[in-house]
Amino acid sequence: MLDKDEILKENIRIPNHLAIIMDGNGRWATQFNKSRSFGHYEGMKRVIDIVKASSDIGIKYLSLYAFSTENWKRPLEEVSYLMDLILVFLNKQIKHLHENNVKLNILGILNQLPPKQIKKIEEALKLTENNTGLILNIALNYGSKDEIFRAVKKMINDVWIGAIDKDSITEELFYNQLDTGNMPDVDLLIRPGGEKRLSNFMLVQNAYSEIIFTDVLWPDFSEKKLIQCLEEYTLRERRFGGL
Ligand code: FPP
């Protein structure tokens, strides 16, 4: 169990907003001659661990990339399994998340998911909507280019129907149209799995985030590894373009 006071004593800087690209499930499973699904299941277990750890140490926003707009291109069997995992995760965890004051939020287009998943997610959103602890963003059917496109389209439509004046479009108004609404930008982005790219994940919100790429595959990612990443983040000098 992570103790927030211990971490603060060690002067570890806690990011307000942590984002993770959970990569490497397939390769993790393959090394044991297991199916990719087995790797995704183990990856889901790490979601549970890292949500708990993040909440314990006082991270306010945690954004997890679970399924991208591009992931539909994977074989049907894998897509179906990932969709099933959403149900498994919520069935297993939603009560616990709620008891721990976690507020669930979805990034991406919910209404393109299968009906069972939509229903379960909507119930979970409703149940946790007034919670004031960790805000857990799960990116599902999410792509950052798509998110930006939807935000721009929404503003054009609002101008068109007279809901806003074109001169009232500000950077802030644009940000607020993104799926993260008025949440703060990401402070720290971690990508396990050895690849060094953003893969269309929160491109605007990561404008000034610190990025840590690690070779550890997501199913091997642990609380200990999270703390190591936070230690590395603590040493980073953040200048936001200034001196
Ligand atoms: C990328 O690894 C991972 C995914 C596309 C799925 C991530 C999903 C989970 C961690 C579990 C589900 C989570 C929830 C919240 C229900 P990969 O399969 O591309 O790995 P590889 O690069 O080794 O093939």
Sheet bearing 17-21, strands edge to edge: 103-107, 135-142, 61-68, 17-21, 188-191, 210-213
pLDDT of residue 101: 98
Q: Alpha-carbon distance 39 to 28, whole Å?
A: 6
pLDDT digits (tens, 9 = 90+) for 81-126: 999 999 999 999 999 999 999 999 999 999 999 999 999 999 999 9
Query: Per-residue confidence at 1, pLDDT binned at 50, 70, 90?
Result: low
pLDDT of residue 240: 85
- Asked whether the predicted pLDDT for residue 214 surpasses 70, the reply is yes
85 lines ligand 1 (CB under 6 A): yes
The answer to whether 219 and 39 are in contact (CB under 8 A) is yes
pLDDT of residue 5: 72
pLDDT of residue 242: 84
The pTM assigned to this predicted structure is 0.96
Nearest atom (ligand 1) to Cα of 27:
23
pLDDT of residue 36: 97
Q: Alpha-carbon distance 75 to 97, whole Å?
A: 31
- Of 41, 137, 27, 53, the C-alpha closest to 86 is 41
120 lines ligand 1 (CB under 6 A): no
The rounded Å distance from CA 183 to ligand 1 centre is: 25
- Asked whether the predicted pLDDT for residue 8 surpasses 80, the reply is no
139 lines ligand 1 (CB under 6 A): no
Mean of all residue pLDDT scores within the chain: 96
